[in-house]
A and B are shown apart, each in its own frame.
Chain A
Amino acid sequence: RKEVEQDPGPFNVPEGATVAFNCTYSNSASQSFFWYRQDCRKEPKLLMSVYSSGNEDGRFTAQLNRASQYISLLIRDSKLSDSATYLCVVNPNTGGFKTIFGAGTRLFVKA
C-alpha cells in the first residue's frame, strides 16, 4: 500500500462548480499535512496547510480526519485558473523529516 494515495482523476467540471478531492495516508503517526498545486511543466507550490480543526482560504477548504486517516480539499466556485494537479502531502514526522507526496489529482475546469 502506498503511503499517500489519491484518486488520479481527471475531474472535469464546469466553471462555478464545487469539487472535492480526498487523500488517504497509511501512517497513523503522521503530524503535518498540506495540499500543493502543480501546473503543467511547473514545480509544485504550496496551496495550503491542513490543520486539525479544518481551515479555509478563500474558495478553498481543507479538512483532516485522523480517525479515518484522510484529508480533503474542497474548491468552491471553480475558476478556469484552478485547472491543475493537486498533490496531497504528508509528513510522517517519525523522527526524520520525510515529506511524502501523493501522485496527484488532475482537475480540468471548463467554460
Chain B
Amino acid sequence: DARVTQTPRDKVTEMGQEVTMRCQPILGHNTVFWYRQTMMQGLELLAYFRNRAPLDDSGMPKDRFSAEMPDATLATLKIQPSEPRDSAVYFCASGYGSGNTIYFGEGSWLTVV
C-alpha cells in the first residue's frame, strides 16, 4: 500500500534550533506539497514542487523557512532558527499531475519551546 512517509513524527526542540523535516513522496508522484496546520489557521500551503522544481513558496516565511527536493524521493522542509510560533503539524502530500487527488503523510508534530 503506497504511502507518503514523513520523519520525524514528533519533535520537541528549543527556540533557536534548526529543525529539518523529511518526506518521501509516493513513487511516481511528481507533485509534492508542504502544508502547516494549526488550530487557528487550518491547513496553510507553504510550498509545492512539480518534477522537483519549486513552483510556489509564497506561503512560507522566507527568512527562516526553506524547502528543497534534492531528488525525486526526498523533499525537505527546514526551519532555522525555530521559534515557538512555528509549533504546528507539518504535512507533506504528493500527487500526480494537476487537479488530481493528493495523498498526505501522517505529519510531523513540531513543538518549539
Binding site for B on A (CB under 8 A): 31-32, 34, 42-46, 49, 87, 91, 93, 96-104
**A-chain residues with CB within 8 Å of residue B41 when the two chains form the complex:** 103
**B-chain residues with CB within 8 Å of residue A34 when the two chains form the complex:** 101
Interface residues of B, CB < 8 Å — how many? 25
* B55 contacts A93, C-beta separation under 8 Å: no
**A-chain residues with CB within 8 Å of residue B95 when the two chains form the complex:** 97, 99
Binding site for A on B (CB under 8 A): 31, 33, 35, 41-43, 45, 48, 50, 55-56, 91, 93, 95, 97-107
**A-chain residues with CB within 8 Å of residue B106 when the two chains form the complex:** 42-43
* A101 contacts B35, C-beta separation under 8 Å: yes
Please, how many angstroms separate the alpha-carbon atoms of A32 and B102 in the complex? 12
* B98 contacts A44, C-beta separation under 8 Å: no
Interface of B is mostly: strand
Q: Which residue of A lies closest to B104 (CB)?
A: A43
**B-chain residues with CB within 8 Å of residue A32 when the two chains form the complex:** 98-100
Could you say which of A34, A44, A97, A103 has the most chain B C-beta atoms within 10 Å of its C-beta? A97
CB < 8 Å neighbour of A43 from B31, B55, B98, B107: B107
Please, how many angstroms separate the alpha-carbon atoms of A102 and B99 in the complex? 16
Q: Which residue of A lies closest to B43 (CB)?
A: A101
CB < 8 Å neighbour of A49 from B31, B42, B43, B101: B101
**A-chain residues with CB within 8 Å of residue B104 when the two chains form the complex:** 43-45
Please, how many angstroms separate the alpha-carbon atoms of A56 and B69 in the complex? 38
Please, how many angstroms separate the alpha-carbon atoms of A43 and B99 in the complex? 20
